[in-house]
Amino acid sequence: MCGIFGYTGNKLAAPLLVGGLELLEYRGYDSAGIAVINGTGKISLTRKAGGTDSVARLSAAVHELSPGGSLGIAHTRWATHGEVAERNAHPHVGRSGNVAVVHNGIVENYIDLKSELIDSGFTFSSETDSEVIAHLVSRETENGSCLSEAVRSAMRRVEGAAAIVATSVSEPEKLVAARLGNAGGIVIGSANGSHMLASDIVALLPHTNRVCYLESGQVATITPKSCDVTDLDGEPQQIDFVTSSRSADQAARGQFPHFMAKEIAEQPDSITAAMRQRVDLAQNTIDVPEFDLTPEQASAIDRAVFIGMGTSLHTGMHGASTLERLAQVPSYAENASEFRYRHPVVNENTLVVSVTQSGETADTLAAMELARDSGSKLVTAVEAEGTQATRLADITLPVRCGQEIGVAATKTMVATMITLTLMGARLAALRGVMSRETESEIAKALASLPSLAGTVLERDEPVKKIAQDLTAYRHLLYLGRGTQFPIAMEGALKMKEIAYIHAEGYAAGEMKHGVNALISAEMPTVALAPRDEMFEKMVSNVNEVKSRGGHVIAVTTDGDDVMESIADDVLYVPQTHPLLQPILNVIPMQMLAYHTAVALGMDPDKPRNLAKTVTVE
């Protein structure tokens, strides 16, 4: 939610700020803006709001205005307080026009702070909670504080989770950044004679891979040549720059029309990447070196809880059913935003597995904190390195598919499903409940999975044709059973998210308990019916839909001839090991949503009202 970028150095700041925002656009794109301290010692502000192309319009404006100055801050917004309008776009400027601030997160006590500021003569030009921070910092500098002290003092007043960057015309080489709680990270990069900072390392990689991460409660003061960190009281803190292994190339769209298309197409590689150094294809063995429990610790686990949001919740559902099946540990998945508030009973014998591609989702991080405080063994499966989830967890399982830019999660889901399947197998081995034969069967099936995923991708034309038909509908139903239930949920989420078609994902067994009343010619059903142990049950469900006048698109496995005789359309997916079948089946769900969105003229990379990284609850 919201992207922040800042630069101080010897180059012209404005183009670098816009370049940074282009790479952070996935975090929010309601509005975008930059503030540059120009040669005349004034803040030059450029902001654009509305639509999903605010960064592009900002870029054009900056190109035309060419603001001078070699220090600035920039922000791309996902609105929480106040409508999408230029006055609400960041940066916000403090009362005397001397200070500019960008903010990510929510100031929970902003109403109290705002009335206090209004009572002491401040006027507000936006409806945002963020503007109170600009005025608080401004008031402190008016009272004689340097920018660093002003930020520390302002942040001591703020309740909630926030990441901010401030600049002041009085100290024109200095950026001050602060982080409170989990409202998105701040990564600082060091390059020749300059420093820059961003919400995500991806925006720094074109300039440097020497980075350090700010922790909650820390304030960084950076100039072109220095980076000093303190806590909120000004006590110096040790911070170490590390060299990241990530490269800027990973974020390029290449010849694909959308990032989502690229990321769907990358999934055979994502599967391979998640298996690397974990599956020995010569010996057909599975190991997950990062999951370094002792056999005693593994045997002490009496329950596993997977937490996540959205696609990551569906991924966790798959992870839980796989873990339960392989490791014989009672397991379930839960929405992190529910888990965190319902006083769950978890203890040192509970394995809590957080699923979060970004490592920044506010609800998931809060649920992790709760689990950590309860003494649970805490694992996170994550794509983004160095993020807060990895700092909270006892064990980090990188999913290694490379950064995902499209707002709709695709390759991160598939890579995480692989990672969690391997973790389930490893736990089973540590507990001594998995036969060598089962391990070998899974390893052999994994060996052919990348090429089978490639086969799914090659079958694009039939999916495209069905997608074209779906553009005529406003409602869809997705049905699945067993391992396919999370895939039905995910198929429906993808369709809602990027094609704006109302879609419901249901366990097919629920049909008779209410959902059947919806079946009509106006609501097609996507039935996930691979040839597995639930196939006959799905055949009955498909027949029930057909006999009530519903249109059925069945997704079954190669070689099946039953679905062809009862469904209206059939998509075929290669057959694999039953525990891996959902990993193949989710791919046509992504393709179907993608082609439907494109056929409807939507931009699948930037769906309305959404952002890739949700750092507010």
* Binder among 317, 346, 407, 554 for ligand AGP (CB under 6 A): 407
The Cα 8–Cα 28 span in angstroms is 24
614 binds ligand AGP (CB under 6 A): yes
Question: Residue 255 burial (CB < 10 Å; 0-12/13-18/19+)?
Answer: exposed
Alpha-carbon separation of residue 413 from 42, 308, 314 (angstroms): 46, 12, 9
Minimum distance between the CB of residue 376 and ligand AGP, rounded to whole angstroms?
Answer: 19
| Nearer CB in complex with ligand AGP: 272/412 | 412
Residue with tokens 């009572």: 119
From the CB of 611, what's the least distance to ligand AGP, in Å?
Answer: 8
Q: Choose the catalytic residue: 2, 212, 227, 401.
A: 2
State which of residues 219, 273, 309, 466 lies at the interface with ligand AGP (CB under 6 A).
Answer: 309
94 or 491: CB nearest ligand AGP = 491
Residue 103: helix, strand or coil by DSSP? strand
Which of these is catalytic: 48, 377, 494, 612? 612
Tell me if 182 contacts ligand AGP by CB under 6 A.
no
Pairing of strands 475-480, 525-528: parallel
Closest distance to ligand AGP from the beta carbon of 407 (Å): 5
Q: Of the ranges 216-224, 355-363, 367-375, 568-576, which one interacts with ligand AGP (CB under 6 A)? A: 355-363
Indicate if 411 belongs to the active site. no
Beta bridge partners of 395: 379
Number of H helices, E strands in the chain: 19, 27
Residue 42 CB: number of other CB atoms within 10 A? 13
Question: Is residue 310 at the binding interface for ligand AGP, with CB under 6 A as the rule?
Answer: yes
Instruction: Check residue 311 for interaction with ligand AGP (CB under 6 A).
Output: yes
- Crossing angle, helix 411-430 and helix 311-327, to 10 degrees? 20
* Rounded Cα gap, residues 499 and 497, in angstroms: 6
Binding to ligand AGP, residues 97-116 (CB under 6 A): none
β-strands 377-382, 395-398 pairing: parallel
Give the length of the chain: 617
List the one residue from 104, 331, 358, 525 that touches ligand AGP (CB under 6 A): 358
**Token reading at 84:** 């999408």
Task: Tell me the two tokens of residue 231.
Answer: 């806590």
Mark the segment that binds ligand AGP (CB under 6 A) among 144-152, 310-318, 551-559, 584-592: 310-318
Residue 334 or 569: the one with the smaller Cβ distance to ligand AGP is 334
Tell me the residue type at 105: G
What is residue 157's three-state secondary structure?
helix
Q: Which residue is nearest to ligand AGP (CB)?
A: 310
- Closest distance of CB 333 from ligand AGP, Å: 13
**Among the candidate windows 280-288, 306-314, 564-572, 595-603, which touches ligand AGP by CB under 6 A?**
306-314
3-state secondary structure of 151: helix
590 binds ligand AGP per the rule CB under 6 A: no
190 touching ligand AGP, by CB under 6 A:
no
Among residues 322, 356, 396, 483, the one that binds ligand AGP under rule CB under 6 A: 356
Quick check: 95 and 132 in contact, CB under 8 A?
no
Q: How far is the CB of 179 from ligand AGP (least distance, A)?
A: 18
Piece of the chain touching ligand AGP by CB under 6 A; list 12-20, 283-291, 402-410, 475-483:
402-410
Pull the structure tokens for residue 561.
Answer: 């001839």
User: Least distance (Å) from ligand AGP to the CB of residue 567?
Assistant: 27
Answer whether 3's CB lies under 8 Å from 183's CB.
Answer: no
Q: Which stretch of DSSP H or E encloses residue 43?
A: strand 43-49
Among the listed residues 594, 610, 409, 608, the one whose alpha carbon sits nearest the alpha carbon of residue 495: 594
Tokens 């902003």 belong to 110
- Vertex 134: Cα angle to 191 and 44 (nearest 5): 60
Residues of this chain, 443-462, that bind ligand AGP according to CB under 6 A: none
Instruction: Report d(CA 102, CA 114) in Å as an integer.
Output: 17
* Structural tokens at position 610: 């959404």
Instruction: Using the structure block, give the residue that is written with the tokens 């909670």.
Output: 129
Q: Nearest distance from residue 390's CB to ligand AGP, in Å?
A: 13
Active site residue 377: no
Count, residues near ligand AGP per rule CB under 6 A = 15
Q: Which is nearer to ligand AGP, 409 or 456 (CB)?
A: 409
DSSP structure string for 124-166: -SSS-SHHHHHHHHHHHHHTT--HHHHHHHHHHH--S-EEEEE
What values do phi and psi take at 446, rounded to 5?
-65, -35
In the bound complex, what is the minimum distance in angstroms from residue 604's beta carbon to ligand AGP?
10
Region binding ligand AGP by CB under 6 A among candidate stretches 30-38, 181-189, 305-313, 456-464: 305-313
Nearer to ligand AGP, 20 or 310 (CB): 310
Amino acid found at 499: A
Q: Is 361 in the site for ligand AGP (CB under 6 A)?
A: yes
Binding status of residue 409 toward ligand AGP by CB under 6 A? yes
The C-alpha torsion from 134 through 135 and 137 to 141, rounded to 10°, is 130
> Residue 33 or residue 359: which is nearer to ligand AGP going by CB?
359
Q: Applying CB under 6 A, which of residues 138, 312, 376, 575 lies at the interface with ligand AGP?
A: 312
Binding-site member from 171, 497, 560, 569 for ligand AGP (CB under 6 A): 497
Interface segment toward ligand AGP; rule CB under 6 A; list 67-75, 286-294, 407-415, 518-526: 407-415
Measured from the CB atom, the residue of 62 and 407 that comes closer to ligand AGP is 407
The answer to the question of residue 482 lying near ligand AGP (CB under 6 A) is: no
CB of 112 to ligand AGP, least distance (A): 30
Binding site residues, ligand AGP, CB under 6 A: 309-312, 356-358, 361, 364, 407-409, 497, 613-614
Residues labelled catalytic:
2, 612
